[in-house]
Amino acid sequence: MKRILNKIKEFDTIIIHGHKRPDGDCYGSQFGLKNIITSTYPNKKVYVVGQTSDFVDYVGKVDTITDDLYADALVVVVDTATEERISDPRYTMGKYLIKIDHHIPVDNYGDLRWVDTNFPSCAQMISYFYYKFKSELKLTKEGAIALYTGIVTDTGRFRYRGVSNLTHQLAGMLLEKGVDVEYIDQQLSKETLEMVGLKGYVYSNYITADGFIYLKMTRDVIEKFNVSDEQAASVVNLLSGIEGYPVWALFIEYPNEIRIRLRSNGPTINELANQYAGGGHAKAAGCRIENWNQLDDFVKDCEAVVEAFKEAE
């Protein structure tokens, strides 16, 4: 962390990347880090780039920048385990690259890496970074809102494994900066009629296997309910906690691939995700298949993971 701070001090231009299809933790980490830097060093130029997220756009707006800004820039990539998942391929154009992430490491990219899987969210890492150096760093209410959003969303509102005493201590620190928890809860709890309809579809069309429950989200379904890809992806945990099915997944069809949001409340699943061009946490991972013909193979492999877990108990 000290080396990261020194690099931030060294560069006048800093560009912060996240992952494709950003979630609350990605946005929270990007905009939280930007706020810390700009509040502490107002003369530095700091940009957040990459894809946008309507779900949590209240924490900040992504910048549009030209290539020339990368020439002498420090690039920081947050919340992204693999290079192919980094949003905006220009991350390689900077002068120095830092990786900050809490996922199980897959790609060891970057000149300097801070990867710690003990943190349940990358936003908590950024909050801890501020906490460790708060005698010389500044953080405003806007930055605290971003970081709190990241922590809340990636911990399932403090329900997931990995939440610790430190998690709550740092959340309390952010509250002291003026975070309105009711405001954030209202932002995260907004529902459209289209999303209500989509949730009904999920509960009516799930498919069960041996210890594995999943849903196929094809393009026609997404178009029928008139929701964004981001909204479609958010329904994965509707299938959580169903007795007899410790692993669940959402298969989402995109133009060139089928992304899999894979979750578990028992078996370790990141190794399975690695087999299908993905990765993540032991109980929450992402991966992909090229087409629907590969679905049966994935289901069989997932069933094998569940069976091995049962035998080991």
Q: How far is the C-alpha of 253 from the C-alpha of 288, rounded, in Å?
A: 10
Q: Are 119 and 145 in contact (CB under 8 A)?
A: no
State whether 18 and 160 are in the same domain: yes
Question: Helix, strand or coil for residue 276?
Answer: coil
189 band by pLDDT with thresholds 50, 70 and 90? confident
β-pairing verdict for 13-17 and 74-78: parallel
First to last CA, the chain: 39
Whichever domain contains 260, its CATH number is: 3.10.310.30
201 band by pLDDT with thresholds 50, 70 and 90? very high
State whether 183 and 290 are in the same domain: no
Q: Supply the Cα-derived Rg of the chain in whole angstroms.
A: 20
Q: Are 193 and 288 in contact (CB under 8 A)?
A: no
Q: How far is the C-alpha of 284 from the C-alpha of 297, rounded, in Å?
A: 20
Whether residue 142 is predicted with pLDDT greater than 80 in this model: the reply is yes
Compute φ and ψ for 203, nearest 5 degrees: -70, -15
Whichever domain contains 51, its CATH number is: 3.90.1640.10
Whether residue 211 is predicted with pLDDT greater than 90 in this model: the reply is yes
State whether 93 and 110 are in the same domain: yes
Q: How many domains does the chain contain in total?
A: 2
Residue located via tokens 């094809």? 218
pLDDT at residue 281, as a whole number: 82
State whether 8 and 63 are in the same domain: yes
Higher pLDDT, 313 or 110: 110
Residue at 274: amino acid letter: N
**Residues listed for the chain:** 313
Residues of the domain holding 12: 2-188
Q: Are 167 and 120 in contact (CB under 8 A)?
A: yes
Torsion over CA of 77, 79, 83 and 85, rounded to 10 degrees?
-120
Q: How far is the C-alpha of 56 from the C-alpha of 30, rounded, in Å?
A: 12
Whether residue 295 is predicted with pLDDT greater than 80 in this model: the reply is yes
8 band by pLDDT with thresholds 50, 70 and 90? very high
pLDDT at residue 197, as a whole number: 96
Instruction: Give me the chain's average pLDDT, please.
Output: 94
Whether residue 16 is predicted with pLDDT greater than 80 in this model: the reply is yes
Torsion over CA of 132, 56, 44 and 75, rounded to 10 degrees?
80
State whether 113 and 31 are in the same domain: yes
Segment 67-115, tens digit of pLDDT: 999 999 999 999 999 998 999 999 999 999 999 999 988 888 999 999 9
45 band by pLDDT with thresholds 50, 70 and 90? very high
Whether residue 38 is predicted with pLDDT greater than 90 in this model: the reply is yes
pLDDT at residue 54, as a whole number: 85
State whether 182 and 197 are in the same domain: no
Give the per-residue SS3 of 236-269: HHHHCCCCCCCEEEEEEECCCCEEEEEEECCCCC
Higher pLDDT, 243 or 105: 243
Q: How far is the C-alpha of 236 from the C-alpha of 173, rounded, in Å?
A: 31
State whether 274 and 163 are in the same domain: no
Q: How far is the C-alpha of 44 from the C-alpha of 197, rounded, in Å?
A: 46
Of 163, 174, 161, give the one whose Cα is nearest residue 127: 174
Whether residue 9 is predicted with pLDDT greater than 80 in this model: the reply is yes
State whether 145 and 217 are in the same domain: no
Over residues 37-48, the mean pLDDT reads 98
Q: How many helices (H) and strands (E) does the chain have?
A: 11, 11
Please classify residue 24 by burial: count the beta carbons closer than 10 Å to its beta carbon, then call 0-12 exposed, 13-18 middle and 19+ buried: buried
Distances (CA, A) of 76 to 20, 53, 99, 286: 15, 19, 6, 22
Whether residue 55 is predicted with pLDDT greater than 90 in this model: the reply is no
User: pTM of the prediction?
Assistant: 0.81
State whether 130 and 270 are in the same domain: no
